[in-house]
Amino acid sequence: MSLRRFTLAALTSALMVGSLPASAATELLNVSYDPTRELYVEYNQAFNRYWQSKGHEAVKVQQSHGGSGKQARSVIDGLRADVVTLALASDIDALYQNGKLIPENWQSRLPNASTPYTSTIVFLVRKGNPKGIKDWDDLVKPGVEVITPNPKTSGGARWNFLGAWAYAQKKFANDEAKTRAFVTQLYKQVPVLDTGARGSTITFVNNKIGDVLLAWENEAFLALKEEGGDNLQIVVPSLSILAEPPVTVVDKNVDRKGTRELAEAYLNYLYSEEGQRIAAKNFYRPRNAKVAAEFAKQFPTLELVTIDGAFGGWKSAQPKFFGDGGIFDQIYRAK
Amino acid sequence: MSRRTSPVIPGFGLTLGYTLLYLSLLVLIPLGAMFLKTTALSWSEFIAVITDTRVLAALQLSFGTALAAALINGVVGTLLAWVLVRYTFPGRKIMEAMIDLPFALPTAVAGIALTALYAPSGLIGQWATDLGFKIAYTPLGISLALTFVTLPFVVRTLQPVLADIPREVEEAAACLGANPWQSFRYVLLPALLPAWLTGFALAFARGVGEYGSVIFIAGNMPMKTEILPLLIMVKLDQYDYTGATAIGVLMLVVSFILLLLINLLQRRIATP
């Protein structure tokens, strides 16, 4: 209890989220993860135009970004987020499990399992692809160094891990021992385990460590646009995982602040054509079929498995793979 | 009665009260809450958490690298303090200001900058690679980051003490026939040692708890380059608050014992 209060104090000051005034109906706090910064800057403006056209006052949307797990924790510890838009469902599940901030069935409240946009995991390699990396198989070849963050501390890295697992599962026809050996070998070729996706990008792009970076598709596209992007190229594997970063209203907070109507409208508008288009422009795969068709050229087609289809959902995958003593821990413990 | 008359400066009650309140709010209550939180674990669960091989490996790494950094700064910091106090040369003021920079710089910035320099592709790292060893992503890199972050401690604690030792003392030693080494060993060192130990202890304690700068240069490989504060973060990311506090308590207890020992040593030196 006290610990939470103290971490809360530290976190809120770190996030520089100003104290919210008593009548906060025109302010909204969106707590999100790292790579969505640009997406929500653009979306907030669009939403404001829409919201005002409906005859409401202008909304001041504050954004907070950080590692997905850490963001979930600060909301649990008392950061008064109206909505959370995080990297994976298990981080939002935690809001239910720790403190009952949202109902257990939160994910069924919005369409597409509350995931308005998706992404996937692709490879980023050096220009010209000197190691000839085409698929997950090539990552375990001798002499190939793979950069990926630690799945225990990074939401994105969990998608990376499961992408590799899903590929191996298919390749070895569900032979778990062989799948595990494949993924173990892959992690043996990881020289640096950063704590977050941004850290891994710095390691790969700026410090030039490793031959391939496992990255969110939207992050990979962004990296190409940024400094040093000319020296990189994207490789799309034959199969990957459909990364689903979901969103939800934080019930306890919006009811206390009286912002439910606004918060719900904010999330619903993500599903509108304009919202979907902004997501696509920021390299997230849209759900809306019409918008998806518009941006079809931007997103390569590949076989995408889902967390629910291949792993029985986060509720079983999280403890099995990433819990204490789970498969990821065993990879590093077996010496 | 004697109590009422003893303090020469008035305001004893007020200042002590303020001190207690201040210490309670800032140190005692947070630390107390931490201990309280661990009581959610049974004794055997607590032992299981802190004797985990990965925790022990991280414990060794954290305290080992912090010790190495404190020792390096103990030697080099003394030298720096000496140069800054005893000599005047152009650029001394600038050098003086540079000493404090590691405190002012956000540790993450320091970590990223050091990694960029010392990674195998970096300016200095390349050179190390040619010689056949790695700096970044090894314990060596961690010590390096800690040495950077804790640089000011020894320098700043020694400077005023060095400045207080009059030149005449050394001159007198020389007149009495001491060679430079003897006057350093028998005249200066005893006077410096208590302050040196303080600086050393501060640097060491700071190094054990450092997170921001280390995390970028460490590589964070489980069992190899994973520091204890990172394990705490890992536990927190699993919403395992009690496990995280258990490691926190472990660090606190080990640090406290070490600092206590250093304090006792200091007292022994101070009162021959």
3-state DSSP assignment of residue A110: coil
Mean pLDDT in chain B?
89
Contact, A147 vs A209, CB < 8 A? yes
What mean pLDDT comes out for the span A317-329? 91
ipTM: 0.75
* Alpha carbon distance A96, A102 (integer Å): 5
> Any idea where the domains of chain B sit in the sequence?
42-270
Q: Could you tell me if A211 and A196 are in contact, meaning their C-beta atoms sit under 8 angstroms apart?
A: no
A→B contacts (Cβ < 8 Å), by residue, are 1-4, 6, 67, 69-70, 73, 76, 94, 97-98, 150, 152-153, 191-195, 199, 202-203, 206-209, 322-324, 329, 332-333, 335
Nearest CA of chain A to the CA of B146: how many Å?
18
Sign for the CA dihedral angle at A309, A312, A318, A319 comes to: negative
Mutate to test the interface with A, among B217, B237, B247 (most CBs of A within 10 A): B237
Q: In Å, how far are A16, A151, B98, B204 from B151, measured between CA atoms?
A: 29, 33, 10, 11
> Do the Cβ atoms of A193 and B222 come within 8 Å?
yes
User: For residue B224, which residues of chain A lie inside 8 Å, CB to CB?
Assistant: none
Q: What residue type is B220 in one-letter code? A: N
Per residue in B69-102, pLDDT tens? 999 999 999 999 999 998 889 989 999 889 989 9
Cβ count within 10 A of residue A102: 22
Residues of chain B positioned with their CB less than 8 A from the CB of A87: none
Q: Which of residues 46-75 of B touch A (CB under 8 A)?
A: 53-54
- Give the position of tokens 């902004």: A278
Residues A150, B137: C-beta atoms closer than 8 Å: no
Which band of pLDDT confidence, cut at 50, 70 and 90, is reported for residue A9? very low
DSSP code of residue A126:
E
**Domain B42-270 sits in CATH 3.40.50.300:** no
CA A95, A96, A101, A105 torsion: positive or negative?
Answer: positive
Name the nearest CA neighbour of A302 among A254, A236, A258, A214. A236
Determine the residue of chain B that is closest to A199 in CA distance: B216
**Could you read off the pLDDT of A155-165 as tens digits, one per residue?**
889 999 999 99
Q: Which of B33, B137, B223 sits opposite A191 (nearest CB)?
A: B137
Is residue B145 within 8 Å of residue B213, measured between CB atoms?
A: yes
Sequence-distant contacts of A71-74: CB under 8 A, at least 24 apart: A71/A31, A71/A32, A71/A33, A73/A7, A73/A11, A73/B236, A73/B237, A73/B239, A74/A7, A74/A8, A74/A11, A74/A12, A74/A15, A74/A31
Contacts of A323 (CB under 8 A, 6+ apart): B238
Superfamily of domain A119-243+302-333: Periplasmic binding protein-like II (3.40.190.10)
Give B192-231 pLDDT, tens digit per residue.
999 999 999 999 999 999 999 999 999 888 888 999 999 9
pLDDT of residue A25: 59
Residue A5 Cα, gap to closest chain B Cα (Å): 10
Query: CB distance B116–A206 less than 8 Å?
Result: yes
**Chain A residues touching residue B54 (CB < 8 angstroms):** 332-333
Cα(A38)–Cα(A112) distance, integer angstroms: 23
B contacts of A227 (beta carbons < 8 Å):
none
Nearest CA in chain B to A318: B238
List of E strands, chain A: 27-32, 60-64, 83-85, 117-126, 146-147, 212-216, 232-235, 239-243, 247-249, 285-286, 303-305
Dump pLDDT digits (tens) for B153-183: 999 999 999 999 888 888 898 899 888 888 8
Quote the DSSP letter at residue A284. Answer: P
DSSP 3-state percent helix, strand, coil across chain A (nearest 5): 50, 15, 35
Q: Is any Cβ of chain A less than 8 angstroms from the Cβ of B33?
A: yes
State the DSSP H helix or E strand holding residue A14, giving kind and residue range, or none if neither: helix A2-15
Task: Name the nearest CA neighbour of B55 among B240, B255, B268, B234.
Answer: B234
SS3 content of chain B, % helix, strand, coil (to 5): 80, 0, 20
Best residue in A16, A152, A321 to probe B by mutation, most B CBs within 10 Å? A152
| pLDDT computed for residue A26 by the predictor | 85
- A77 to chain B, closest Cα gap in Å: 11
- Please name the CATH architecture into which domain A2-115+244-294 falls: 3-Layer(aba) Sandwich (3.40)
Rounded average pLDDT over A6-14: 47
Q: Counting one residue from A and one from B, how many pairs have CB atoms under 8 Å apart?
A: 85
Domain with CATH 3.40.190.10 in chain A: 2-115+244-294, 119-243+302-333
